Amino acid sequence: MFYTQLYSQEKHLSLLNKSTNGTLYLTATHLIFVESSSNNSTSILHHHIASVEKLSLTTTGCPLVIQCRNFRVVHFVVQRERDCHDIYSSLLRLLRPVSYEELYAFSYNPKQNDQQREEGWQLIDLGAEFERMGVPCDQWQLTDVNRDYKVCETYPRDLYVPITASKPIIVGSSKFRSKGRFPVLTYFYQEKKAAVCRCSQPLSGFSARCLEDESLLQAISKANHNSRFVYVMDTRPKLNALANRAAGKGYENEDNYSNIRFQFVGIENIHVMRTSLQKLLEVIGTRSLNMSDYLVGLESSGWLRHIKAVVDAAIFLTKAVTVEGASVLVHCSDGWDRTAQVCSLGALLMDPYYRTMKGFMVLIEKDWISFGHKFADRCDQLDGDPKEVSPIFTQFLECVWQLTEQFPQAFEFSEWFLLQIHEHVHSCQYGNFLGNNQRQREELQLRERTHSLWAFLMSEKQNYLNPFYSPAYSEVHPVLAPSTLPYNFKSVFWRNMYHQFDRSMHPRQSILKAILTLRDNSRNAESTLQALETLQLQLPPATSRLPHSGGTHKPQRSAAAGGGRGGGG
């Protein structure tokens, strides 16, 4: 590519709070810094760079500050101002790709053949997932109404609706819903035959009605014999929903829908969330921050208040479904941000399967990717509208992390799994998160031209296991009931997410790593013991005692290895 330039002057880098000298290289995909003393290198994928800032010239050189989407902040000091300017302007061009074809996923080649790649994409099968939930069944069926993305272009092709919902009802309802996102099934709680459905806001304005929409909700209600009504959860604050009425949108009027119980939940919109995280990052980026300013800053950013609101909503959903046995319809405005958060987090609380590694991939594939969370816009994959960018998915991952902290035995994966997913949502290295919806992904032929993250994560499964995971725990506690009392939000703050690259702030020793090593040693010892016992059977008793050999065996593996770095390639 024409803007690929190679720089090889001595550069000054301050990383990990320490300064090192080295050489900075700029390639088509990465910014690479090689330390001159140790030959250690650090590479930063261009897609990870959120912003580049050139500060004013100092005596040591020209400082360049790079902020990354994985919350890494790197300071370079380039000796000559002209070089600095060159790097700066190259980066500016590099980090604003204008077409999908420029993204790393299309050039990334992990040396796999087509068959392997194909298999990677087949790892997650949503049809099989609905079957696992027990759908289709006598009350729910697969509809082909969206086969060609005609009814709703941001929904997937395969959708599940109540048996009694005819095509005209569906089509009628879709015309009454923002972006045509009519109510469809996303999770089925088999034990109580209760459904979690999702949609966007109704175009009700101040008084509009839609009989088809009313019948569709009626059908959802009828499909569940356990409850006489269906909850409608509007995840927005009431004020926002009211304001939407003036624009011809709004919320369901309980008088028009015979069988609903309407509830506002009060999660703020993408703009509030974006500002909130920005404030949080400003606070924690302050040098020599004192405790009071930190806590005041945390409070005023509101970030934890928002996290709590999302978890609270998921708890409400879970209780309605698992305790009351009622079906729930969840929506917000367009039904792809807050709705995705609440539905997926709720399912995670209800169903132990989603707390396994594979299950979590399925959950993201279903509630986020297939139902059209706008990853391209929210994660700023292409040079687009900054107002569309928002850390909704990051926030979801943090909610999950809070749950893993409260229930250390309930999840098969460790936080490094979450961090790695976060890393790659922004890396654009794999095809999974590219684009805004399934239709767009098919047009881009991602399955043919890129690789799947899920296959890669599965191949590295060992790195992301939670050693404390106990399937038995999940049998006893299939439904998790987290506490959201403010003081139960552990550690206040997810250090490994927002300070992953700031080594000075982390525990100097990792329990996780130590325990994984210990467990491996014990497993090795166990197999050695078994081998010895087998041997014992074959040998005469007198020679059967062999010297101990298990304890000294040390496997070379680090728990954090997979999580620490992004990029690669």
Partner 1 sequence: MEFSEHIKTANVEDVVLRQPLHPPSRGTLCITGHHLLFSDREEGSSRQLLLLLRNIDAVEKRISGSSGTITIKCKDMRVLHLDIPGMEQCLNIAHSIETLSCLDGVAAMYPFFYRPSDLSLQNQWGLSSTEKYYSQMKELHNRWRLSSVNRDYSVCPSYPPAVIIPQNTDDDMLKKVAKFRQGGRFPALCYYHRKNGMVILRSSQPLTGANRKRCREDEHLLQAVIDGSDKGYIIDTRSSQQAQQARMTGGGFESKSSYSHWKRLHRQMERGKALQESLIKLVEACGDESHNMDRWLSKLENSKWLSHVQTALSTAGLLAECVERDGHSVLVHGSEGTDSTLLISTLAQLIMDPCCRTLEGFLALLEREWVQAGHPFQQRCAHFAYSHARLQQESPVFLLMLDCVWQLWRQFPLALGFSEALLLRLATEAYASDYGTFLCNSHQERCALGVTENTHCLFQALLRPTERDYYSNPLYEPTELAIWPSVHPQSLQLWRGFFLRWTQQARQLEEAQEEIRNMVIEWGKMALS
Q: Known catalytic residue: 332? A: yes
Of 196, 174, 185, 180, whose CA–CA distance to 126 is shortest?
A: 185
490: Cα separation from own chain's centroid: 20
Residue 520 labelled as part of a binding site? no
E runs forming strands in 138-247: 140-143, 159-162, 184-189, 194-199, 230-234
Neighbours of 569 (CB within 10 A): 13
Of these, 59, 504, 543, 556, which contacts partner 1 (CB under 8 A)? Answer: 504
Residue 270 labelled as part of a binding site? yes
Q: Where are the alpha helices (DSSP H) in 335-477?
A: 338-350, 357-363, 375-378, 392-406, 415-427, 438-443, 446-449, 453-459, 471-476
- Near partner 1 in 130-169, by CB under 8 A: none
Minimum distance, C-beta of residue 66 to partner 1, in the bound complex (Å):
21
Residue 255 labelled as part of a binding site? no
Residue 335 labelled as part of a binding site? yes
Of these, 58, 508, 547, 556, which contacts partner 1 (CB under 8 A)? Answer: 508
Of these, 50, 65, 208, 525, which contacts partner 1 (CB under 8 A)? Answer: 525
Which amino acid appears at position 206 of this protein? Answer: F
Of these, 266, 408, 478, 564, which contacts partner 1 (CB under 8 A)? Answer: 408
399 in contact with partner 1 (CB under 8 A): no
Is 406 in contact with 490 (CB distance < 8 Å)?
yes
Minimum distance, C-beta of residue 17 to partner 1, in the bound complex (Å):
10
409 in contact with partner 1 (CB under 8 A): yes
Is 438 in contact with 156 (CB distance < 8 Å)?
yes
Minimum distance, C-beta of residue 73 to partner 1, in the bound complex (Å):
14
Q: What is the DSSP letter of 430?
A: S
125 in contact with partner 1 (CB under 8 A): no
Q: Which long-range contacts (CB under 8 A, 24 or more apart) does 347-350 make?
A: 347/186, 347/187, 347/196, 348/314, 348/400, 348/403, 348/480, 349/314, 349/315, 349/318, 349/403, 349/479, 349/480, 349/481, 349/482, 350/187, 350/189, 350/318, 350/321, 350/322, 350/478, 350/479
Minimum distance, C-beta of residue 550 to partner 1, in the bound complex (Å):
6
489 in contact with partner 1 (CB under 8 A): yes
531 in contact with partner 1 (CB under 8 A): no
511 in contact with partner 1 (CB under 8 A): yes
Of these, 131, 299, 383, 442, which contacts partner 1 (CB under 8 A)? Answer: 299
Pairing of strands 230-234, 260-264: parallel
Before 136, cis peptide (omega within 30)? yes
Of these, 1, 92, 505, 561, which contacts partner 1 (CB under 8 A)? Answer: 505
Of these, 1, 57, 211, 492, which contacts partner 1 (CB under 8 A)? Answer: 492
Nearer to partner 1, 120 or 302 (CB): 302
Span interacting with partner 1, options 194-202, 323-331, 379-387, 519-527, rule CB under 8 A? 519-527
405 contact partners, CB below 8 Å, separation of at least 6: 490, 491
Minimum distance, C-beta of residue 562 to partner 1, in the bound complex (Å):
21
How many whole angstroms separate alpha carbon 233 and alpha carbon 224?
17
Minimum distance, C-beta of residue 148 to partner 1, in the bound complex (Å):
46
Of these, 124, 284, 349, 425, which contacts partner 1 (CB under 8 A)? Answer: 284
Gyration radius from the chain CA atoms: 26
How many whole angstroms separate alpha carbon 482 and alpha carbon 214?
34
Is 28 in contact with 90 (CB distance < 8 Å)?
no
Paired tokens of 124: 């997650």
CB burial class (10 A; 0-12, 13-18, 19+) of residue 276? buried
514 in contact with partner 1 (CB under 8 A): yes
Residue 114 labelled as part of a binding site? no
- Near partner 1 in 309-348, by CB under 8 A: 312
16 in contact with partner 1 (CB under 8 A): no
Mask of contacts with partner 1, 453-472, x by CB under 8 A?
---------------x-x--
User: How many of the chain's residues bind partner 1 (CB under 8 A)?
Assistant: 58
Which amino acid appears at position 455 of this protein? Answer: A
Neighbours of 421 (CB within 10 A): 22
Nearer to partner 1, 1 or 511 (CB): 511
Minimum distance, C-beta of residue 42 to partner 1, in the bound complex (Å):
21
Span interacting with partner 1, options 47-55, 377-385, 457-465, 497-505, rule CB under 8 A? 497-505
Catalytic residue of the set 332, 379, 399, 428: 332
Span interacting with partner 1, options 162-170, 372-380, 447-455, 504-512, rule CB under 8 A? 504-512
Residue 333 labelled as part of a binding site? yes
Nearer to partner 1, 112 or 470 (CB): 470
536 in contact with partner 1 (CB under 8 A): no
H-helix or E-strand spanning residue 18: strand 18-26
How many whole angstroms separate alpha carbon 397 and alpha carbon 43?
24
C-alpha distance from residue 381 to each of 109, 345, 533 (Å): 19, 25, 57
Span interacting with partner 1, options 160-168, 246-254, 436-444, 480-488, rule CB under 8 A? 480-488
- Go through the chain and tell me how many residues it has: 569
Minimum distance, C-beta of residue 433 to partner 1, in the bound complex (Å):
28
How many whole angstroms separate alpha carbon 108 and alpha carbon 106?
6
Of 453, 567, 450, 452, whose CA–CA distance to 102 is shortest?
A: 450
Binding residues, by number, are 269-270, 332-338
Contacts with partner 1 by CB under 8 A lie at 284, 289-296, 298-299, 302, 304-305, 308, 312, 406-409, 468, 470, 483-493, 495, 498-499, 504-511, 514-515, 518-519, 521-526, 529, 548, 550-551
Could you give the residue numbers annotated as active site?
A: 332
